[in-house]
Amino acid sequence: MNGYAGKLLRVNLSEGRVSKEEISESMKRDFLGGRGFAIKLLWDEVKQVDPLSEQNKIVFATGPLSGQLLPSSGKMVIASKSPLTEGYGDGNMGTMASVHLKKAGYDAVVVEGKSERPCYLLIEDESVKILEASDLWGKSSFDVQDLLEKRHGGNSGILVIGPAGENLVRISTVMSQKGRAGGRPGMGAVMGSKNLKALVIKGTGNVSNFDDSRVRELGRKGYEEIKSSGSYPFWMKQGTMQAFEWCNENGCLPAYNFREGIFEFSREMDGYVLEKLDVDRKGCPMCNMQCGHIVHDSSGQRAELDYENVGMLGPNIGIRSLPQVATLNRMADEWGLDTISLGSCIGFLMEASEKGLIEERIGWGDFEAAQRLTVAIGRDEGMGRLLSRGVKYASEKLGKGSHRWAMHVKGLEISAYNCHACPGMALSFGTSPIGASHKDAWIIAWEISTDRFSYNKEKVEKLIEFQRIRGGFFESATVCRLPWVEVGFGIHWYPEYLKAITGQSRSWEDLYQIGDRIYALLRAYWKREIPNFGRRWDWPPDRWFEESQSRGKMGGIKVDRKSYEQMLSWYYELRGWDQNGVPLRETLDRLGLAGVSKEISV
Ligand code: SF4
């Protein structure tokens, strides 16, 4: 099929062996790429292993749209069995590594085994080398990016972990280009467990498309449509930070460990304040609506801000200064820590301190303490040892009812949307296939603008539609969802791109079916890896059911547990899963996953 490089690169670090495999036509047809390739590979090859053992594997996968001349296509998916959740984990990242990987002739890389010594991979078209990285070990992700660029040239794609990944911190990510991050559920630690510090990818070829001139024409039209959108000018001013004021107005900012949904100091740090601090813009390859805002942090260094890290390292821990948030964000990026989980862990500890559950006194908004904790978590030492495995683990260690306000689902920390008064978004977090990520179904804007407080079946149907588009298609194609979400880029373009690139006509119905297949296999993976996996894994934390916010127009409102359960039952029914959230045999058979049922005994 056109549009693919057609090869998978496999690197076994235990044996120092490199091999190249054809990617089958059925794999491309049934799983598309990105997340689809990743779950198929992990399902087939990574069974009931310790995520930090050499038996685990890590997948770096592109899709047919990755790196193509079309809006925001410079993405790839990084996936593995997660050391944070013990289930399936992945994350997408916008990086030159995606563009170079396809140019080098590979749709995906699988790294398995464990190197005896620190190493990095150098992929230059056909040539693949495993190189010594002892001199890079212990260095920050920014320093290693610089060193490897100097050593191998700037015209490359580099994926790297910081010291947190080396220290097997479960909330560590993979970094690229000093600010792009991917793989929230501990993908950094998986690389660290393999003694793999980085991948440097340099490609000089091109994939062959079905109709190149049509791809160019569609690409030009796509970029023009984005630029001419009415939402484009404001997006270019504030990017994802436009959500900050909106969330505060609607009571869904995460403030004080998600206890509140509005922040009394929001005016001091919203998108309008960011506009004044903005000194540069940064983003992913192939994107003409770049959303990373560069500011000077509290120490005068350049640092990047977006809504998620501002929400979680700002109001969620009581910090009211964007430069201070920028410092914490820069530190997290250097250490290779996920900013969402970091903000959740610090917020959890501040609340534990306030409640007198720990001896240390760490007040809300204590910037010095937040910096110290970031380093301690990155090093996995002192108080950091409690937090480096995420808030689920921390609450289990701490006890005393703290699980009620440990803000995670399936072990992955909730991203920056407070759902006391957004039951559909709560269900979205509940049913996301990697734990509480907003990326699969950001239903909150639709929910608030339509029927916010209802718990009806239509809302569940809408959630599944979002998951099919976002978590199924965009994560597998692989392209950024934000052109569609934020500037109204037409969803009808994507089947046209696919036709011009692969030569195959696929309707949205066809693409939904691929999304359903991927979701069913993701679910089956959770079930196989965690035998007692079931309905309660899809519950958000008790805080949203049991405590309401104390102030603002959403004060007094909480999610109704019985109604949430009803929505969850509808969700399972609509997906063709049983009431424990496990795909039924007939659903697996219908989706062409016949062998899967045997492994999960359905
Ligand atoms: S919109 Fe933002 S996240 Fe999406 S591709 Fe562009 S820079 Fe990356």
Q: Which of 252, 281, 282, 280 shows the shortest CA–CA distance to 266? A: 252
Q: DSSP character for 255?
A: B
For 505-533, what is each residue's pLDDT tens digit?
Answer: 999 999 999 999 999 999 999 999 998 99
Q: Is 289 in the pocket of ligand 1 (CB under 6 A)?
A: yes
Average pLDDT over residues 55-65: 98
Average pLDDT over residues 57-82: 97
Q: What is the DSSP string of 414-480?
A: P-S---TT-HHHHHHHHH-BTBS-SSS---HHHHHHS-TT---HHHHHHHHHHHIIIIIIIHHHT--
What is the Å distance from ligand 1's center to 283 Cα? 6
Domain 230-416 has CATH 1.10.1030.10: no
Q: For residue 164, what pLDDT band results from cuts at 50, 70 and 90?
A: very high
What is the Å distance from ligand 1's center to 94 Cα? 7
For 359-415, what is each residue's pLDDT tens digit?
Answer: 999 999 999 999 999 999 999 999 999 999 999 999 999 999 999 999 999 999 999
Sheet containing 17-22: which strands, arranged edge to edge?
17-22, 7-12, 108-112, 57-61, 75-81, 88-94
| Spatial distance between the Cα atoms of 485 and 374, rounded to a whole number of angstroms | 32
> What integer pLDDT is reported at residue 16 of this predicted model?
98
> pLDDT averaged over the chain?
97
| Spatial distance between the Cα atoms of 1 and 4, rounded to a whole number of angstroms | 7
| Secondary structure element (H or E) that encloses residue 521, with its range | helix 508-529
What is the Å distance from ligand 1's center to 482 Cα? 7
Give percent of the chain with pLDDT exceeding 70: 100
Tell me the CA end-to-end span of the chain in Å, nearest whole number: 34
Q: Which atom of ligand 1 is nearest to the CA of 287?
A: 6
Q: Is 287 in the pocket of ligand 1 (CB under 6 A)?
A: yes
Q: Are 79 and 525 in contact (CB under 8 A)?
A: no
Q: Which atom of ligand 1 is nearest to the CA of 283?
A: 7
What is the Å distance from ligand 1's center to 474 Cα? 13
Q: Are 576 and 513 in contact (CB under 8 A)?
A: no
Q: Respond yes or no on whether the N-terminal peptide bond of residue 587 is cis (omega within 30° of 0).
A: no
Which sequence spans correspond to the domains of the chain?
7-202, 230-416, 424-488+507-599
The values of phi and psi at residue 100, to 5°, are -70, -35
Q: Is 226 in the pocket of ligand 1 (CB under 6 A)?
A: no
Q: For residue 47, what pLDDT band results from cuts at 50, 70 and 90?
A: very high
Assess whether pLDDT exceeds 90 at residue 132: yes
| Fold matches, 230-416 and 424-488+507-599 | no
CA distances from 330 to 78, 179, 318, 515 (A): 21, 8, 18, 35
| Spatial distance between the Cα atoms of 85 and 169, rounded to a whole number of angstroms | 13
Assess whether pLDDT exceeds 90 at residue 341: yes
Q: Which atom of ligand 1 is nearest to the CA of 306?
A: 2
Q: Which atom of ligand 1 is nearest to the CA of 292?
A: 7
CATH number of 7-202: 3.60.9.10
Assess whether pLDDT exceeds 90 at residue 601: no
What is the Å distance from ligand 1's center to 456 Cα? 33
For 110-124, what is each residue's pLDDT tens digit?
Answer: 999 999 999 999 999
Which of 479, 480, 484 is the best mutation target for the ligand 1 pocket, counting ligand atoms within 8 Å of the beta carbon and taking the most?
Answer: 480
Q: Is 482 in the pocket of ligand 1 (CB under 6 A)?
A: yes
Assess whether pLDDT exceeds 90 at residue 587: yes
What is the fold, at CATH topology level, of the domain defined by 424-488+507-599? 1.10.599
Q: Is 193 in the pocket of ligand 1 (CB under 6 A)?
A: no
Residues whose CB is less than 8 angstroms from the CB of residue 403 and which lie 6 or more positions away in sequence, other chains included: 392, 395, 396, 541, 542
Q: Which atom of ligand 1 is nearest to the CA of 94?
A: 8
Assess whether pLDDT exceeds 90 at residue 602: no
Q: For residue 501, what pLDDT band results from cuts at 50, 70 and 90?
A: very high
| Secondary structure element (H or E) that encloses residue 234, with its range | helix 232-238
Q: Is 67 in the pocket of ligand 1 (CB under 6 A)?
A: no
The values of phi and psi at residue 157, to 5°, are -115, 130
Residue minimizing CA distance to atom 4 of ligand 1 = 480
Residue minimizing CA distance to atom 2 of ligand 1 = 291
Residues whose CB is less than 8 angstroms from the CB of residue 235 and which lie 6 or more positions away in sequence, other chains included: 242, 289, 291, 486, 487
**Displacement of CA 120 from its chain's centroid (Å):** 23
For 188-233, what is each residue's pLDDT tens digit?
Answer: 999 999 999 999 999 999 999 999 999 999 999 999 999 999 999 9
Average pLDDT over residues 339-346: 98
Q: Which atom of ligand 1 is nearest to the CA of 74?
A: 5
Q: Is 290 in the pocket of ligand 1 (CB under 6 A)?
A: yes
For 362-371, what is each residue's pLDDT tens digit?
Answer: 999 999 999 9
Q: Is 94 in the pocket of ligand 1 (CB under 6 A)?
A: yes
| Spatial distance between the Cα atoms of 416 and 442, rounded to a whole number of angstroms | 11
What is the Å distance from ligand 1's center to 170 Cα? 25
Which of 93, 232, 289 is the best mutation target for the ligand 1 pocket, counting ligand atoms within 8 Å of the beta carbon and taking the most?
Answer: 289
Q: Which atom of ligand 1 is nearest to the CA of 483?
A: 1
For 411-457, what is each residue's pLDDT tens digit?
Answer: 999 999 999 999 999 999 999 999 999 999 999 999 999 989 999 99
| Spatial distance between the Cα atoms of 443 and 317, rounded to a whole number of angstroms | 25
